[in-house]
Amino acid sequence: MRPLLPAAAQTTQPPRAEAIKLNKEGVQLQQRGDLRAALEKFEQALKLTREIKDRQGGEERRER
């Protein structure tokens, strides 16, 4: 299993692009049978997606 990159190393891309990349990596790992590593990637992608949605929700509240 490959070590996960530190959070600072993951911020080189916009959060949405990073979430998509992590999800694709999770699919590849799942297809290879490395389910634990795949789950980690999926969880990271989900966390980023939730953070994005939280920020968008906050922006909508400020605009009102």
Residue 1 within any structural domain of the chain: no
Residue 2 within any structural domain of the chain: no
| DSSP of 22-59 | HHHHHHHHHHHT-HHHHHHHHHHHHHHHHHHHHHHHHH
Q: How many CB atoms lie within 10 A of CB 61?
A: 8
pTM tops 0.75, yes or no = no
What is the rounded CA–CA span in Å between residue 45 and residue 53?
A: 12
What is the residue-level pLDDT of the chain in tens, covering all 64 positions?
Answer: 455 555 544 457 899 999 999 999 999 999 999 999 999 999 999 999 999 999 888 765 555 5
Residue 8 within any structural domain of the chain: no
How many domains, in total, are found in the chain? 1
Residue 50 within any structural domain of the chain: yes
What's the length of the chain? 64
Boundaries of domain holding 45? 13-63
Report the pLDDT value the prediction gives residue 59, as an integer from 0 to 100. 67
